[in-house]
Amino acid sequence: MGIVASQSFKNVITTYAGFAIGAINTLFLYTRFLSDDYYGMVGYMLSLAFVIMPLMAFGVQNTLVKFYSTFKTRTSVNSFLTLVLFLPILVIIPMVIITYFGYDVIGNLLSEKNTIIKKYLWHTLIIGISLAYFEVFFAWAKVQMLTVFGNFMKEVFHRVGAMVLLLLLHFNVVDLEQFMWGLVIIYVLRMLIMNIYAFSIKLPVITFHKVNNLTSILKYSFLIIIAGSIATILLDIDKVMLGYFIPIKEVAYYGVAIYITAVIAVPQRAMHQILMPLSAKYLNDKDYESLNDLYKKSSLNLFIVSGFIFLLIILNINELYKLIPEEYGVGLYVVLLISIAKLYDALLGSNNAILFNSDYYRMVLVLGVFLVILMVVLNIVFIPLYGINGAALATFIAIFIYNSIKLFFVYKKFKILPFTINTFKIGCFILLGVLVFYFWEFSFHPIVNIGLKSLILSLVYLFFVYRFNFSEDISVLINKLTKRK
Protein backbone atom coordinates (compact mmCIF):
# COMPACT_ATOMS: atom_id res chain seq x y z
CA MET A 1 0.00 0.00 0.00
CA GLY A 2 3.08 2.30 -0.15
CA ILE A 3 2.28 4.01 -3.45
CA VAL A 4 -1.42 4.02 -2.56
CA ALA A 5 -0.80 5.66 0.82
CA SER A 6 1.67 8.20 -0.59
CA GLN A 7 -0.35 9.43 -3.55
CA SER A 8 -3.68 9.05 -1.74
CA PHE A 9 -2.45 11.29 1.07
CA LYS A 10 -1.33 13.97 -1.40
CA ASN A 11 -4.59 13.60 -3.30
CA VAL A 12 -6.60 13.94 -0.09
CA ILE A 13 -4.78 17.19 0.72
CA THR A 14 -5.41 18.71 -2.72
CA THR A 15 -8.98 17.41 -2.81
CA TYR A 16 -9.81 18.93 0.56
CA ALA A 17 -8.18 22.18 -0.51
CA GLY A 18 -10.52 22.13 -3.50
CA PHE A 19 -13.51 21.32 -1.35
CA ALA A 20 -12.63 24.08 1.13
CA ILE A 21 -12.61 26.58 -1.73
CA GLY A 22 -15.77 24.99 -3.11
CA ALA A 23 -17.43 25.26 0.31
CA ILE A 24 -16.77 29.00 0.36
CA ASN A 25 -18.22 29.26 -3.14
CA THR A 26 -21.22 27.03 -2.47
CA LEU A 27 -22.23 28.17 0.99
CA PHE A 28 -21.39 31.86 0.89
CA LEU A 29 -20.48 33.33 -2.53
CA TYR A 30 -23.04 31.64 -4.79
CA THR A 31 -25.80 32.09 -2.22
CA ARG A 32 -25.12 35.84 -1.92
CA PHE A 33 -23.76 36.94 -5.31
CA LEU A 34 -26.20 35.03 -7.57
CA SER A 35 -29.97 34.91 -7.51
CA ASP A 36 -31.50 31.57 -6.51
CA ASP A 37 -32.63 31.03 -10.10
CA TYR A 38 -29.18 31.55 -11.59
CA TYR A 39 -27.49 29.51 -8.86
CA GLY A 40 -29.94 26.73 -9.62
CA MET A 41 -29.14 27.13 -13.33
CA VAL A 42 -25.40 26.75 -12.70
CA GLY A 43 -26.05 23.54 -10.74
CA TYR A 44 -28.38 22.23 -13.42
CA MET A 45 -25.93 23.09 -16.24
CA LEU A 46 -22.98 21.35 -14.59
CA SER A 47 -25.06 18.31 -13.62
CA LEU A 48 -26.31 17.88 -17.18
CA ALA A 49 -22.74 18.23 -18.49
CA PHE A 50 -21.61 15.45 -16.14
CA VAL A 51 -24.51 13.26 -17.26
CA ILE A 52 -23.53 13.49 -20.95
CA MET A 53 -19.76 13.36 -20.30
CA PRO A 54 -19.39 9.53 -20.22
CA LEU A 55 -21.02 9.28 -23.64
CA MET A 56 -18.74 11.90 -25.17
CA ALA A 57 -15.64 10.33 -23.64
CA PHE A 58 -16.66 7.03 -25.30
CA GLY A 59 -15.53 5.27 -22.13
CA VAL A 60 -11.87 5.51 -23.14
CA GLN A 61 -10.68 6.93 -19.81
CA ASN A 62 -11.42 3.55 -18.20
CA THR A 63 -10.37 1.60 -21.29
CA LEU A 64 -6.95 3.25 -21.16
CA VAL A 65 -6.46 2.24 -17.54
CA LYS A 66 -7.65 -1.34 -18.06
CA PHE A 67 -5.73 -2.24 -21.21
CA TYR A 68 -2.59 -0.09 -21.07
CA SER A 69 -0.51 -2.60 -19.10
CA THR A 70 -1.35 -5.36 -21.59
CA PHE A 71 0.62 -3.67 -24.42
CA LYS A 72 4.32 -4.47 -24.22
CA THR A 73 5.91 -3.02 -27.38
CA ARG A 74 6.39 0.65 -28.34
CA THR A 75 4.39 0.27 -31.56
CA SER A 76 1.46 -1.43 -29.87
CA VAL A 77 1.37 1.19 -27.08
CA ASN A 78 1.44 4.09 -29.57
CA SER A 79 -1.30 2.50 -31.67
CA PHE A 80 -3.46 2.01 -28.60
CA LEU A 81 -2.92 5.59 -27.40
CA THR A 82 -3.78 6.93 -30.87
CA LEU A 83 -7.04 5.00 -30.76
CA VAL A 84 -7.80 6.42 -27.32
CA LEU A 85 -7.29 9.99 -28.50
CA PHE A 86 -9.58 9.74 -31.53
CA LEU A 87 -12.46 7.56 -30.31
CA PRO A 88 -14.31 10.33 -28.40
CA ILE A 89 -14.50 12.42 -31.59
CA LEU A 90 -16.79 9.76 -33.09
CA VAL A 91 -19.42 10.73 -30.51
CA ILE A 92 -18.66 14.42 -30.02
CA ILE A 93 -19.11 15.43 -33.68
CA PRO A 94 -22.60 13.84 -34.03
CA MET A 95 -23.69 15.39 -30.72
CA VAL A 96 -22.59 18.85 -31.86
CA ILE A 97 -24.48 18.40 -35.15
CA ILE A 98 -27.62 17.17 -33.36
CA THR A 99 -27.49 20.11 -30.95
CA TYR A 100 -27.02 22.61 -33.78
CA PHE A 101 -29.97 21.42 -35.83
CA GLY A 102 -32.19 20.36 -32.94
CA TYR A 103 -31.49 23.21 -30.55
CA ASP A 104 -35.09 24.40 -30.30
CA VAL A 105 -36.54 20.91 -29.87
CA ILE A 106 -34.02 19.93 -27.18
CA GLY A 107 -34.28 23.31 -25.49
CA ASN A 108 -38.07 23.26 -25.36
CA LEU A 109 -38.07 19.72 -23.97
CA LEU A 110 -35.65 20.54 -21.14
CA SER A 111 -37.10 23.96 -20.31
CA GLU A 112 -40.77 23.06 -19.98
CA LYS A 113 -40.78 24.08 -16.30
CA ASN A 114 -37.89 26.60 -16.34
CA THR A 115 -37.39 28.60 -19.54
CA ILE A 116 -33.92 29.79 -18.47
CA ILE A 117 -32.49 26.32 -19.24
CA LYS A 118 -32.86 26.69 -23.03
CA LYS A 119 -30.51 29.66 -23.06
CA TYR A 120 -27.50 27.65 -21.89
CA LEU A 121 -27.48 24.45 -23.96
CA TRP A 122 -24.24 25.32 -25.78
CA HIS A 123 -22.59 26.14 -22.46
CA THR A 124 -23.55 22.69 -21.21
CA LEU A 125 -22.32 20.88 -24.32
CA ILE A 126 -18.91 22.62 -24.35
CA ILE A 127 -18.40 21.89 -20.65
CA GLY A 128 -19.37 18.25 -21.30
CA ILE A 129 -16.75 17.94 -24.06
CA SER A 130 -14.12 19.55 -21.82
CA LEU A 131 -14.96 17.16 -18.98
CA ALA A 132 -14.69 14.18 -21.34
CA TYR A 133 -11.24 14.99 -22.71
CA PHE A 134 -10.01 16.06 -19.27
CA GLU A 135 -10.76 12.54 -18.01
CA VAL A 136 -8.95 11.04 -21.02
CA PHE A 137 -5.81 13.09 -20.33
CA PHE A 138 -6.05 12.38 -16.59
CA ALA A 139 -6.18 8.64 -17.34
CA TRP A 140 -3.11 9.17 -19.57
CA ALA A 141 -1.23 10.29 -16.45
CA LYS A 142 -2.79 7.65 -14.19
CA VAL A 143 -1.36 4.74 -16.20
CA GLN A 144 2.08 6.20 -15.50
CA MET A 145 1.15 6.06 -11.77
CA LEU A 146 1.15 9.88 -11.60
CA THR A 147 -2.12 11.21 -10.18
CA VAL A 148 -1.32 14.18 -7.94
CA PHE A 149 -1.24 16.99 -10.53
CA GLY A 150 -4.31 15.62 -12.28
CA ASN A 151 -6.16 15.43 -8.99
CA PHE A 152 -5.20 19.05 -8.27
CA MET A 153 -6.63 20.11 -11.63
CA LYS A 154 -9.74 17.98 -11.07
CA GLU A 155 -10.50 19.28 -7.59
CA VAL A 156 -8.92 22.72 -7.15
CA PHE A 157 -8.47 24.57 -10.46
CA HIS A 158 -12.08 25.08 -11.53
CA ARG A 159 -13.17 26.01 -8.01
CA VAL A 160 -10.55 28.74 -7.78
CA GLY A 161 -11.67 29.93 -11.21
CA ALA A 162 -15.31 30.00 -10.09
CA MET A 163 -14.36 31.97 -6.97
CA VAL A 164 -12.56 34.58 -9.07
CA LEU A 165 -15.56 34.84 -11.40
CA LEU A 166 -17.97 35.25 -8.49
CA LEU A 167 -15.87 38.06 -7.04
CA LEU A 168 -15.67 39.75 -10.45
CA LEU A 169 -19.45 39.45 -10.72
CA HIS A 170 -19.95 40.92 -7.26
CA PHE A 171 -17.79 43.96 -8.07
CA ASN A 172 -19.54 44.42 -11.45
CA VAL A 173 -16.42 43.67 -13.48
CA VAL A 174 -18.41 41.05 -15.41
CA ASP A 175 -22.15 40.69 -15.94
CA LEU A 176 -24.24 37.52 -15.64
CA GLU A 177 -23.75 36.42 -19.25
CA GLN A 178 -19.99 36.94 -19.05
CA PHE A 179 -19.99 34.98 -15.79
CA MET A 180 -21.76 32.03 -17.41
CA TRP A 181 -19.34 32.01 -20.36
CA GLY A 182 -16.48 32.41 -17.90
CA LEU A 183 -17.45 29.10 -16.30
CA VAL A 184 -17.25 27.47 -19.72
CA ILE A 185 -13.79 28.94 -20.36
CA ILE A 186 -12.53 27.65 -17.01
CA TYR A 187 -13.45 24.05 -17.87
CA VAL A 188 -11.93 24.35 -21.36
CA LEU A 189 -8.71 25.79 -19.91
CA ARG A 190 -8.55 23.02 -17.30
CA MET A 191 -8.79 20.42 -20.05
CA LEU A 192 -6.02 22.10 -22.09
CA ILE A 193 -3.64 22.32 -19.11
CA MET A 194 -4.23 18.64 -18.34
CA ASN A 195 -3.56 17.88 -21.99
CA ILE A 196 -0.16 19.64 -21.85
CA TYR A 197 0.78 17.85 -18.61
CA ALA A 198 -0.23 14.41 -19.90
CA PHE A 199 1.73 14.86 -23.12
CA SER A 200 4.76 16.10 -21.15
CA ILE A 201 4.79 12.72 -19.36
CA LYS A 202 4.40 10.70 -22.54
CA LEU A 203 4.22 12.47 -25.86
CA PRO A 204 1.85 10.66 -28.23
CA VAL A 205 3.22 9.19 -31.42
CA ILE A 206 0.28 9.07 -33.82
CA THR A 207 0.38 5.54 -35.22
CA PHE A 208 -2.43 3.94 -37.17
CA HIS A 209 -1.24 0.34 -36.95
CA LYS A 210 -3.66 -2.43 -36.13
CA VAL A 211 -4.45 -2.55 -32.42
CA ASN A 212 -4.39 -5.99 -30.86
CA ASN A 213 -7.61 -6.97 -29.10
CA LEU A 214 -9.46 -4.18 -30.89
CA THR A 215 -12.82 -5.94 -30.63
CA SER A 216 -12.44 -6.39 -26.88
CA ILE A 217 -11.31 -2.78 -26.47
CA LEU A 218 -14.25 -1.36 -28.41
CA LYS A 219 -16.70 -3.65 -26.63
CA TYR A 220 -15.29 -2.61 -23.27
CA SER A 221 -15.39 1.08 -24.23
CA PHE A 222 -19.00 0.81 -25.30
CA LEU A 223 -19.99 -0.92 -22.10
CA ILE A 224 -18.03 1.56 -20.01
CA ILE A 225 -20.08 4.32 -21.61
CA ILE A 226 -23.05 2.64 -19.98
CA ALA A 227 -21.16 2.11 -16.72
CA GLY A 228 -19.95 5.70 -16.60
CA SER A 229 -23.40 6.94 -17.47
CA ILE A 230 -24.88 4.82 -14.70
CA ALA A 231 -22.44 6.14 -12.11
CA THR A 232 -22.96 9.73 -13.25
CA ILE A 233 -26.72 9.40 -13.51
CA LEU A 234 -26.87 8.07 -9.97
CA LEU A 235 -25.03 11.23 -8.87
CA ASP A 236 -26.52 13.95 -11.08
CA ILE A 237 -29.83 12.86 -12.60
CA ASP A 238 -31.66 14.04 -9.48
CA LYS A 239 -30.65 17.66 -10.13
CA VAL A 240 -31.58 17.36 -13.80
CA MET A 241 -35.00 15.94 -12.94
CA LEU A 242 -35.57 18.54 -10.22
CA GLY A 243 -35.16 21.21 -12.89
CA TYR A 244 -37.94 19.53 -14.84
CA PHE A 245 -40.44 19.16 -11.99
CA ILE A 246 -39.95 22.05 -9.57
CA PRO A 247 -38.76 25.72 -9.62
CA ILE A 248 -35.09 26.03 -10.59
CA LYS A 249 -34.24 27.88 -7.35
CA GLU A 250 -34.88 24.67 -5.39
CA VAL A 251 -32.07 23.01 -7.35
CA ALA A 252 -29.81 25.52 -5.58
CA TYR A 253 -31.09 24.43 -2.16
CA TYR A 254 -30.60 20.79 -3.12
CA GLY A 255 -27.15 21.52 -4.59
CA VAL A 256 -25.90 23.05 -1.34
CA ALA A 257 -27.04 20.01 0.64
CA ILE A 258 -25.42 17.62 -1.84
CA TYR A 259 -22.17 19.60 -1.76
CA ILE A 260 -22.02 19.33 2.03
CA THR A 261 -22.33 15.55 1.82
CA ALA A 262 -19.80 15.33 -1.04
CA VAL A 263 -17.03 16.04 1.47
CA ILE A 264 -17.52 12.47 2.76
CA ALA A 265 -16.51 11.11 -0.65
CA VAL A 266 -13.24 13.08 -0.85
CA PRO A 267 -10.96 10.32 0.53
CA GLN A 268 -12.59 7.78 -1.78
CA ARG A 269 -12.16 10.04 -4.81
CA ALA A 270 -8.54 10.66 -3.90
CA MET A 271 -7.69 7.00 -3.32
CA HIS A 272 -9.67 5.90 -6.38
CA GLN A 273 -7.17 7.61 -8.70
CA ILE A 274 -4.46 5.09 -7.73
CA LEU A 275 -6.76 2.15 -6.93
CA MET A 276 -7.91 1.94 -10.56
CA PRO A 277 -4.49 1.27 -12.19
CA LEU A 278 -3.34 -0.96 -9.31
CA SER A 279 -6.48 -3.10 -9.44
CA ALA A 280 -6.13 -3.38 -13.21
CA LYS A 281 -2.53 -4.53 -12.80
CA TYR A 282 -3.39 -7.15 -10.16
CA LEU A 283 -6.24 -8.48 -12.29
CA ASN A 284 -4.12 -8.61 -15.45
CA ASP A 285 -1.36 -10.42 -13.50
CA LYS A 286 -3.94 -12.65 -11.76
CA ASP A 287 -2.47 -11.61 -8.42
CA TYR A 288 -5.62 -12.21 -6.40
CA GLU A 289 -3.87 -12.20 -3.03
CA SER A 290 -2.72 -8.61 -3.56
CA LEU A 291 -6.17 -7.74 -4.91
CA ASN A 292 -7.82 -9.05 -1.74
CA ASP A 293 -5.33 -7.19 0.46
CA LEU A 294 -5.98 -3.96 -1.46
CA TYR A 295 -9.74 -4.49 -1.18
CA LYS A 296 -9.71 -4.91 2.59
CA LYS A 297 -7.20 -2.16 3.36
CA SER A 298 -8.86 0.38 1.08
CA SER A 299 -12.27 -0.38 2.62
CA LEU A 300 -11.06 -0.09 6.21
CA ASN A 301 -9.02 3.07 5.63
CA LEU A 302 -11.83 4.77 3.74
CA PHE A 303 -14.42 3.76 6.33
CA ILE A 304 -12.30 5.20 9.14
CA VAL A 305 -11.57 8.50 7.40
CA SER A 306 -14.99 8.94 5.77
CA GLY A 307 -16.69 7.89 9.02
CA PHE A 308 -14.89 10.70 10.81
CA ILE A 309 -16.03 13.22 8.19
CA PHE A 310 -19.56 11.78 8.36
CA LEU A 311 -19.63 12.48 12.10
CA LEU A 312 -18.30 16.02 11.65
CA ILE A 313 -21.10 16.77 9.17
CA ILE A 314 -24.01 15.11 10.97
CA LEU A 315 -23.07 16.48 14.38
CA ASN A 316 -22.59 20.05 13.12
CA ILE A 317 -25.24 20.29 10.41
CA ASN A 318 -27.76 22.26 12.47
CA GLU A 319 -25.15 24.91 13.33
CA LEU A 320 -23.88 25.02 9.74
CA TYR A 321 -27.31 25.85 8.38
CA LYS A 322 -27.48 28.83 10.75
CA LEU A 323 -24.59 30.39 8.80
CA ILE A 324 -26.31 30.51 5.40
CA PRO A 325 -29.61 32.02 4.20
CA GLU A 326 -32.58 30.52 6.03
CA GLU A 327 -34.31 29.17 2.91
CA TYR A 328 -31.44 26.71 2.34
CA GLY A 329 -32.34 24.95 5.61
CA VAL A 330 -34.92 22.84 3.77
CA GLY A 331 -31.99 20.61 2.71
CA LEU A 332 -31.38 19.14 6.18
CA TYR A 333 -33.17 15.86 5.40
CA VAL A 334 -31.23 15.65 2.13
CA VAL A 335 -27.93 15.90 4.02
CA LEU A 336 -28.89 13.11 6.42
CA LEU A 337 -29.96 10.64 3.73
CA ILE A 338 -27.17 11.28 1.23
CA SER A 339 -24.49 11.25 3.97
CA ILE A 340 -25.42 7.67 4.84
CA ALA A 341 -25.31 6.71 1.16
CA LYS A 342 -21.84 8.30 0.79
CA LEU A 343 -20.56 6.43 3.83
CA TYR A 344 -21.78 3.16 2.32
CA ASP A 345 -19.87 4.07 -0.86
CA ALA A 346 -16.67 4.49 1.15
CA LEU A 347 -17.19 1.15 2.90
CA LEU A 348 -16.89 -0.64 -0.45
CA GLY A 349 -13.24 0.41 -0.89
CA SER A 350 -11.79 -0.69 -4.24
CA ASN A 351 -15.01 -2.47 -5.26
CA ASN A 352 -15.58 -0.23 -8.30
CA ALA A 353 -11.96 -0.54 -9.40
CA ILE A 354 -12.24 -4.34 -9.29
CA LEU A 355 -15.49 -4.45 -11.24
CA PHE A 356 -14.56 -1.98 -13.97
CA ASN A 357 -11.25 -3.75 -14.63
CA SER A 358 -12.46 -7.36 -14.44
CA ASP A 359 -14.11 -9.60 -17.02
CA TYR A 360 -17.42 -9.46 -15.15
CA TYR A 361 -18.40 -5.86 -15.83
CA ARG A 362 -21.09 -6.85 -18.34
CA MET A 363 -23.53 -8.25 -15.79
CA VAL A 364 -22.95 -5.29 -13.49
CA LEU A 365 -23.80 -2.97 -16.37
CA VAL A 366 -27.06 -4.81 -17.00
CA LEU A 367 -27.97 -4.45 -13.33
CA GLY A 368 -26.87 -0.82 -13.43
CA VAL A 369 -29.20 -0.04 -16.33
CA PHE A 370 -32.06 -1.54 -14.35
CA LEU A 371 -31.18 0.58 -11.34
CA VAL A 372 -30.99 3.78 -13.39
CA ILE A 373 -34.48 3.05 -14.65
CA LEU A 374 -35.51 2.43 -11.05
CA MET A 375 -34.00 5.74 -9.95
CA VAL A 376 -35.73 7.68 -12.72
CA VAL A 377 -39.05 6.07 -11.77
CA LEU A 378 -38.46 6.82 -8.08
CA ASN A 379 -37.66 10.45 -8.88
CA ILE A 380 -40.80 10.76 -11.00
CA VAL A 381 -42.83 9.41 -8.07
CA PHE A 382 -41.11 11.14 -5.13
CA ILE A 383 -40.14 14.60 -6.47
CA PRO A 384 -43.74 15.76 -7.12
CA LEU A 385 -44.71 14.46 -3.67
CA TYR A 386 -41.76 15.58 -1.53
CA GLY A 387 -39.69 17.98 -3.66
CA ILE A 388 -35.96 17.92 -2.94
CA ASN A 389 -36.51 15.42 -0.10
CA GLY A 390 -38.11 13.08 -2.63
CA ALA A 391 -35.03 13.35 -4.86
CA ALA A 392 -32.82 12.51 -1.88
CA LEU A 393 -34.95 9.49 -1.00
CA ALA A 394 -34.85 8.21 -4.59
CA THR A 395 -31.06 8.62 -4.71
CA PHE A 396 -30.61 6.89 -1.35
CA ILE A 397 -32.66 3.86 -2.35
CA ALA A 398 -30.96 3.52 -5.74
CA ILE A 399 -27.41 3.82 -4.35
CA PHE A 400 -28.14 1.38 -1.52
CA ILE A 401 -29.46 -1.26 -3.93
CA TYR A 402 -26.68 -0.69 -6.48
CA ASN A 403 -23.87 -0.91 -3.91
CA SER A 404 -25.34 -4.01 -2.28
CA ILE A 405 -25.48 -5.80 -5.61
CA LYS A 406 -21.88 -4.82 -6.45
CA LEU A 407 -20.71 -6.04 -3.05
CA PHE A 408 -22.43 -9.40 -3.56
CA PHE A 409 -21.15 -9.72 -7.13
CA VAL A 410 -17.48 -9.26 -6.20
CA TYR A 411 -17.88 -11.81 -3.40
CA LYS A 412 -19.55 -14.33 -5.70
CA LYS A 413 -16.90 -14.06 -8.43
CA PHE A 414 -13.71 -13.52 -6.40
CA LYS A 415 -14.73 -14.91 -2.99
CA ILE A 416 -13.47 -11.77 -1.25
CA LEU A 417 -15.18 -9.28 1.06
CA PRO A 418 -13.85 -5.89 2.17
CA PHE A 419 -14.91 -6.30 5.80
CA THR A 420 -12.86 -7.25 8.86
CA ILE A 421 -13.63 -7.31 12.58
CA ASN A 422 -12.25 -3.77 12.73
CA THR A 423 -14.91 -2.66 10.24
CA PHE A 424 -17.57 -3.72 12.72
CA LYS A 425 -15.83 -1.94 15.61
CA ILE A 426 -15.49 1.31 13.67
CA GLY A 427 -19.15 1.09 12.64
CA CYS A 428 -20.23 0.74 16.27
CA PHE A 429 -18.05 3.68 17.28
CA ILE A 430 -19.55 5.90 14.55
CA LEU A 431 -23.07 5.01 15.69
CA LEU A 432 -22.11 5.70 19.31
CA GLY A 433 -20.64 9.05 18.27
CA VAL A 434 -23.92 10.10 16.66
CA LEU A 435 -25.94 9.09 19.74
CA VAL A 436 -23.60 10.84 22.20
CA PHE A 437 -22.74 14.05 20.37
CA TYR A 438 -25.77 14.91 18.19
CA PHE A 439 -27.90 16.42 20.99
CA TRP A 440 -24.94 18.03 22.75
CA GLU A 441 -25.13 21.74 21.85
CA PHE A 442 -23.19 24.78 23.08
CA SER A 443 -24.83 28.17 23.54
CA PHE A 444 -22.24 30.16 21.57
CA HIS A 445 -22.02 31.50 18.02
CA PRO A 446 -22.49 28.71 15.42
CA ILE A 447 -18.85 28.95 14.26
CA VAL A 448 -17.60 28.58 17.85
CA ASN A 449 -20.01 25.68 18.43
CA ILE A 450 -18.80 23.90 15.29
CA GLY A 451 -15.18 24.44 16.28
CA LEU A 452 -15.61 23.16 19.84
CA LYS A 453 -17.62 20.09 18.94
CA SER A 454 -15.28 19.24 16.05
CA LEU A 455 -12.20 19.57 18.29
CA ILE A 456 -13.63 17.30 20.98
CA LEU A 457 -14.81 14.75 18.42
CA SER A 458 -11.44 14.80 16.60
CA LEU A 459 -9.47 14.11 19.79
CA VAL A 460 -11.77 11.28 20.85
CA TYR A 461 -11.92 9.69 17.39
CA LEU A 462 -8.18 9.87 16.68
CA PHE A 463 -7.34 8.50 20.13
CA PHE A 464 -9.72 5.60 19.63
CA VAL A 465 -8.41 4.73 16.15
CA TYR A 466 -4.73 5.08 17.11
CA ARG A 467 -4.96 3.45 20.55
CA PHE A 468 -6.49 0.26 19.16
CA ASN A 469 -4.45 0.33 15.92
CA PHE A 470 -7.42 -0.39 13.67
CA SER A 471 -5.45 0.56 10.55
CA GLU A 472 -1.73 0.05 10.21
CA ASP A 473 -1.56 2.60 7.38
CA ILE A 474 -3.32 5.30 9.41
CA SER A 475 -1.22 4.56 12.50
CA VAL A 476 1.98 4.88 10.45
CA LEU A 477 0.73 8.16 9.00
CA ILE A 478 -0.06 9.52 12.48
CA ASN A 479 3.40 8.48 13.67
CA LYS A 480 4.99 10.31 10.74
CA LEU A 481 2.94 13.43 11.35
CA THR A 482 3.84 13.40 15.07
CA LYS A 483 7.42 12.27 14.23
CA ARG A 484 7.18 9.09 16.29
CA LYS A 485 9.14 5.98 15.39
pLDDT average, residue stretch 373-400? 89
Mean pLDDT calculated for residue range 282-299? 88
pLDDT score at 1: 47
* pLDDT tens string 329-367: 888 899 999 999 999 999 998 888 888 788 777 776 777
pLDDT above 60 (res 485): no
Confidence of residue 310 (pLDDT cuts 50, 70, 90): very high
When mean pLDDT is compared over 246-255, 351-360, 450-459, the highest value belongs to 450-459
Nearest to 393 by CA among 254, 190, 263: 254
Single-letter residue type at 272: H
Q: What is the tens place of the pLDDT at every residue in 119-163? A: 888 999 999 999 999 998 998 888 787 778 888 999 899 999 999
pLDDT of residue 9 exceeding 80: no
The per-residue pLDDT of the chain, averaged, comes to 84
Q: Which of 126, 359, 378, 341 is nearest to 237 (CA)?
A: 378
The answer to whether residue 405 scores a pLDDT higher than 50 is yes
56-91 confidence digits (pLDDT tens): 888 788 788 777 777 777 888 888 888 888 888 988
For the chain, what percent of residues have pLDDT higher than 70?
Answer: 93
What CA dihedral angle connects 431, 317, 164 and 34, to 10 degrees? 140
Instruction: Output the pLDDT for position 186.
Output: 97
Note the pTM of the prediction, 2 decimals.
0.70
Q: What is the pLDDT of residue 114?
A: 67
pLDDT on residue 2: 52
Which has more confidence, 263 or 421?
421
Task: Identify the band that residue 8 occupies on the pLDDT scale cut at 50, 70 and 90.
Answer: low
